[in-house]
Amino acid sequence: MELFKRGPALGFRLSVFIALSVAIMALDQRQQHMIYVHQALSVITTPIQYLVDLPLKTLDWLSERVTTKNALLSDNQQLKANQVLLQAKVQKFLALERENNRLRGLLQSSVRLREKVVVARLLALDANPYVHQFTLAKGSRDGVFVGQSVLDASGVLGQVIRVNPFTSQVLLLTDTRSAIPVENTRNGIRGIVVGVGDMNRLALIDTPKTENIKNGDLLVTSGLGQRFPAGYPVGTVGVVIHNPGEHFARINIHPKAQFNRSRFALLVWPHSKKK
């Protein structure tokens, strides 16, 4: 049918579609109206994503089924030993937390509440080498919301930037669009850590050269900006470069989270927010 519509009509339709694409790009950048389009498209894309993820999930399941009894037993023993150790640490931690909250009460500052944390699986997909994102197998059906913090066992991974009914997109700290407020555990100096587009490196920006930041300092989330909960590790300070020609020191951060090896992520719900 379209065979007979060539000539000026084709060029006209091309310009219409180009204008439409550009308009949608601009609208999507503002991230308000296009959420419904995203959700409508996810009806088709989510099954494909789960389909691609399925073989890997099956492989995991199979390797679990065919392990020997001995391997399972030794695994079990190790996990039990680990659990005892962790519980001993938690006991101490609980006492410390109570003491900390009492002291904060005396200082009349706000008491820190504990957050709720849920484990989510990453879908085994990667499509877009331009951006540092991944897809979680939990979505708005599970109460995930835009801006939610995502952790792994050793540190902050990033935040949720888009939610579909069954999946959600997470922007990693290493992406150049990402920024996170942090504080130095050694002396409480605050700053902002941004991604530089490299999986193994972050950068602490806009820190005056006179600030006391040394190689090996641990940076944790400061909780300022109300987006990331306070106190989760972000990274350790690597090389600090003082260039006399620049206003600010150039500070490399080694991230704590394992961005390209994580299979599971932790979603954090702030305590005040009802699911």
List contacts with another protein (CB under 8 A).
1-3, 5-6, 10, 13-14, 17-18, 20-25, 27-29, 34, 37-38, 41-42, 44-45, 48-49, 51-52, 56, 124-133, 135, 162, 169, 174-177, 195, 197, 260
Sequence-distant (≥ 6) Cβ neighbours of residue 181 within 8 angstroms: 190, 191, 192, 221, 222, 223, 224, 225, 228
What's the closest the beta carbon of residue 197 comes to another protein, in angstroms?
Answer: 3
Name residue, tokens 């989330």. 221
d(CA 201, CA 236) in angstroms, rounded, equals 10
What's the closest the beta carbon of residue 171 comes to another protein, in angstroms?
Answer: 10
What's the closest the beta carbon of residue 10 comes to another protein, in angstroms?
Answer: 7
What's the closest the beta carbon of residue 19 comes to another protein, in angstroms?
Answer: 10
d(CA 96, CA 83) in angstroms, rounded, equals 20
Q: Which C-beta is closer to another protein: that of 136 or that of 189? A: 136
Q: What are the Cα distances from residue 33, in Å, to 25, 27, 125, 225, 254?
A: 12, 7, 27, 25, 37
d(CA 191, CA 202) in angstroms, rounded, equals 13
What's the closest the beta carbon of residue 196 comes to another protein, in angstroms?
Answer: 8
Q: Which C-beta is closer to another protein: that of 14 or that of 85? A: 14
Q: Which C-beta is closer to another protein: that of 9 or that of 81? A: 9
What's the closest the beta carbon of residue 7 comes to another protein, in angstroms?
Answer: 11
Give the β-pairing of 250-255 and 218-221.
Answer: unpaired
Q: Which C-beta is closer to another protein: that of 4 or that of 188? A: 4
Q: Which C-beta is closer to another protein: that of 109 or that of 130? A: 130
Q: What are the Cα distances from residue 107, in Å, to 20, 100, 216, 236?
A: 57, 10, 30, 29
Token pair listed for 52: 């691609």
d(CA 160, CA 136) in angstroms, rounded, equals 9
Q: Which C-beta is closer to another protein: that of 29 or that of 272? A: 29
